[in-house]
Amino acid sequence: MKKELVEKLIKEGKSSQEIRKKVIGFPYKPSKGYFRKLGCEDEVAEKYESILQKRDSMCSEERFEFIASQNVDLNKLIIDTCVFGHDKTIELIENAKNVIILLSTLNEMDKKKDINQEDLYSRKMAEKIRWYSNLFLVDKEKYHLIPFAGYEKNMYPDDVIIQYLSITEATKRPTILTADTILANKADAFGLEYILYKPVEFVLKRKENNVADEVFETTNIEKKSITQEEKILNSKRKRDNTYSEGGIEISLEGTNVIVKRYNDNAKVFYLKEGEYKEIEPDEQQIEQSIEEIILVIPVARKGSIHVVKLNIKDGKILKQDKEYVGLNKMYIDEWIDESIKDKITDIIY
């Protein structure tokens, strides 16, 4: 009787929490051992365990959180397939300016797009995959499909992402967005930037990383019905007046220039009324009549920095950038003012 009730509830798409309300003694995290004791065959027990693990993760977003590397760029992401299984990672994709999808990831998405699947998690993921597959073709300014599947045949999609980023110039690399701990570990081993979305009980947040709690406040957005056309228009509007790199976000709102910092290792200077001033770590600055902003961002290679000069003109952000490796101030170009060259080279040494 108990076995039949549990199987019925699982097939109805119920989560473990919902089943516990109707079945006395149903465990918080049901294992295949529990289902064997109910009288299920080994194969069925493993299937039920897997279904509920996925379903519970989908239905319990409040028990998840983000962890991230130091220099994440929320506006330039490269995604793997598992991000389509969570609303919070979808929101980060919606808010990004540029999203890269490799051919290997598209192939994996194609295998998971069947909406006629038994468990709720897989069906929801399939629906999102189908929706975004259409959006990729419509908004090509935001979504970039890269025909790269690795230099070896039949490479695992996660390894293709790592290989692609490893051969991409350090200053142009996107940030990996994933819900896969192994992929995040690989990224960390290669010195690549990543955002990982995982259950709280499995998260060991690095003490020195103060990024996660602040950066991902952007996911607490009001949920509302929005058409595909509106999404594209909103995305393009954001691209026109926002610049983000290395944990620094610059945005224009009317005559205001808003500077948000999520990276304590970077330096930010702005020019106003002929004088350069530095924005301190953990500070949000709102200024009017800013003429120029200088970003100084350390990159993965030791002794290397990426310097970005942003000119604010006619409501647009115009960019110049260069990378410097182990150079003193006399070699830094004339477009960097003498008054801040010492502070810039301090990051290298």
DSSP 262: -
CATH class of the domain defined by 62-234: alpha beta
* Exposure of 205 in the CB half-sphere (CA atoms within 13 A): 18
Residue 182 structure tokens: 């192994």
Contact 250, 258 (CB under 8 A): yes
Residue count of the chain: 349
Query: In Å, how far from its chain's centre is CA 277?
Result: 31
Q: Count of CB atoms within 10 A of residue 326's CB?
A: 13
pTM of the model: 0.53
Give the whole-angstrom CA distance, residue 324 versus residue 332.
8
Ranges of each domain in the chain: 2-59, 62-234, 241-346
Q: For residue 200, what pLDDT is reported?
A: 54
In terms of DSSP H, where are the helices of 167-225?
181-189, 211-215
In the block, which residue shows the tokens 């709720």?
A: 120
Q: For residue 280, what pLDDT is reported?
A: 73
Closest CA to 216 of 25, 66, 29: 66
Contact 239, 141 (CB under 8 A): yes
Strand pairing class (275-279; 267-272): antiparallel
In terms of DSSP H, where are the helices of 21-156?
32-38, 42-59, 87-95, 103-111, 120-138
Beta strands in 205-337 (DSSP E): 242-245, 248-253, 256-261, 267-272, 275-279, 284-288, 292-298, 304-313, 316-325
pLDDT tens, the chain, 349 aa long: 788 889 888 888 888 878 887 887 788 778 888 888 888 988 888 888 888 877 776 555 445 678 888 778 888 999 999 999 888 888 889 888 899 999 999 999 998 888 776 666 777 888 889 989 988 988 888 999 999 988 888 889 999 999 999 888 877 889 999 998 899 999 988 889 999 988 654 444 443 344 444 444 433 333 334 454 454 445 544 555 777 777 777 887 777 788 776 666 778 888 888 888 887 765 566 666 777 888 887 765 556 677 888 887 777 777 776 666 555 444 556 667 777 777 766 665 5
Give the whole-angstrom CA distance, residue 187 versus residue 67.
13
Q: For residue 203, what pLDDT is reported?
A: 42
CA angle 301, 305, 307 (to 5 degrees): 150
